[in-house]
Structure 1
Amino acid sequence: MTLDNKKQIITVDLHNMVKEQAKRYLEQFLNSISINVKEVHIIHGYHSGTTLQNMIQKCLKHPRIKQKIKSFNQGVTILYLK
């Protein structure tokens, strides 16, 4: 996980996690991050399949999530937060 304080962006890498582990991690992560964070870049990869990508883009729900954007990089999804 990396944090860019100037832009209030956090990057999270989910490589080597399975679907349920990643979902649980992201839910706990979103519950715990500062209200000042407005953008989260989630690196989920795609070369080993799209399970994590699909879970994030279709199944992940959280009250902080304002919008989900597919990045130009197929292995990244961007969450804009409230």
Structure 2
Amino acid sequence: MKEPYGMADLSAWFRVNMGLRKKFSKLFKRRMVHMLSGIIEIDVHGKNVEEAFKEIRKQLNRANASVYRIRVIHGYHGGTRIRDGIREEFGYEREPKIKRITMGDNPGITELVLREL
């Protein structure tokens, strides 16, 4: 009787699943590091303003008490619509969770401060 899976099939299956496992493990670790550090990073490159706002609101709703800052990476060279829209939409106490909005390390990053350390 022939085995349903040969060694070649098993090694291929193992390579595919281990590759996925490593990929998800890296993503999980990166997400956990940011959650443990109190900072959530959101990358909105390639999204329009509405999609970016939707993602930011989703993360704002998911943010627990350990999160004190949300870092939005929107880029700079493609235009400043997302950056300007974030300042209009979430600034001036329009969102109760956000205390203030600051520029990040470069012009392509905006940080939403939820609480002071």
Q: TM-score, normalised by structure 2?
A: 0.62
Aligned counterpart, 2:49 = 19
- Percentage identity across paired residues of the two chains: 31
Return the offset for 1:59. 1.8
Cα RMSD, aligned residues only: 1.7
Q: Which runs of 5+ in 2 are unaligned?
A: 1-29
Aligned counterpart, 1:48 = 78
Aligned counterpart, 1:71 = 104
Higher helix share: 2
Runs of 4+ in 1 over 3 A off after TM superposition: none
**Greater Rg by CA:** 2
Higher strand share: 1
Q: Which runs of 5+ in 1 are unaligned?
A: none
> In the alignment, residue 56 of structure 1 is paired with which amino acid?
I
